[in-house]
Amino acid sequence: MVGNDEVVCTLYEGNYHLGVAVLINSILRGGFRGLFWIGYRGELPAWLDGLSRDSNGLYVVGDALLGFELLDSAIHFAHFKPLFMKSLFDRGVATHRLWYFDPDITVRCTWSFYQRWIKFGACICQEYTMGTMPSTHPIRCEWVELAEKAGWGEPVNQLERYFNSGFLGVEAHNSEILDTWAAANDLARNAGVDQSKFQTDSRSNTFLFADQDALNIAAMYTKVPLTVIGPEGMGWVTGGFTMYHSVGSPKPWRKKFLRSALAGNPPSNGDKHFFLMADGPLHPYSSGKLRWLRISLNISSLFGRFNRRG
């Protein structure tokens, strides 16, 4: 196992490999020169064909390296994130800085910003939906009850914001937050959360998106400093410059843009950025397919100026 000072990791299965390729392209566009480490289920993507390898068997992409790890885990990948990140530090894959991105994210700015950001603590972004969550919110109070029963004591941080679990950046000396996140996942499992599923059926439950709720529990109990950007950090409100996070369904690579625009739903900024980043050094689409997708995207964007739901 060859370690690297700077590692970006993600997890995928199925057609999410398209998101992985475009995520990598967007990060490379910003000047990243480290190692991409991808955990996956199923098959390796066809877009790896033709890439050269170094002496360690890693794929060469631009000025960076790319490795894959086949995972055998029954739990949903959403709940596997802290264990995966922790394992990369424990096994020496990541030796200094480690970032996790969901495969439906694209990066908008130069990589040097992320390198500066991570010096201040664990990098995290505020959620948009229910992003303001007071420290006395009843759901938080239920989390505290569970933690107290498990012997955790009082929260270290009284937080008023709720964070998204699609991105986390952490240096090795702050990796303790990953242990706390994994332990919070155990709290959720012990409270009855089925970790083979992405979410429960209602926010009125103690856990909804249990991996994300667990990250927020970890943020309450960690001694690691947090460095926070608001919902603009994931492109959900104006003023952002760091990422677009295409949450919800369908994902950009599955959208029927013309049909969606006719229904009053024009392409989002995340959709547009996804296809801007969809070409090189990795090529998840043929040139003809990508050309057609970009044409349909542009037509849909134009039509959306005059036909927008709401």
pLDDT string in tens for the chain (310-residue length): 678 999 999 999 999 999 999 999 999 999 999 999 999 999 999 999 999 999 999 999 999 999 999 998 888 898 999 999 999 999 999 999 999 999 999 999 999 999 999 999 999 999 998 899 999 999 999 999 999 999 999 999 999 999 999 999 999 999 999 999 999 999 999 988 888 776 677 778 889 888 899 999 999 999 999 999 999 999 999 999 999 999 988 999 999 998 888 888 899 999 999 999 999 899 999 999 999 999 999 999 988 676 666 5
- Alpha-carbon distance of 248 to 250, in angstroms, equals 6
62 and 207 housed in the same domain: yes
Number of domains the chain is built from: 2
| DSSP characters over 160-208 | -B-EEEEEEEEEGGGTHHHHHHHHHHHHHHHTT--TTSS--S-TTSS-S
Q: What is the distance between the alpha carbons of residues 195 and 211, in angstroms, rounded to a whole number? A: 9
101 and 218 co-located in one domain: yes
155 and 293 in a single domain? The answer is: no
Say whether both 84 and 196 belong to one domain. yes
The answer to whether residues 196 and 115 belong to one domain is yes
Q: Are residues 152 and 295 in the same domain?
A: no
161 Cβ neighbours under 8 A, 6+ residues apart: 126, 127, 131, 132, 133, 228
Predicted TM-score (pTM) of this structure? 0.95
Tell me if the bond preceding 250 is cis, omega within 30° of 0: yes
What sections of the chain are H helices per DSSP?
Answer: 17-29, 77-90, 111-117, 138-149, 176-190, 210-221, 257-262, 269-276, 287-304
Range of the domain at 296: 251-304
Specify whether 19 is located in the same domain as 66. yes
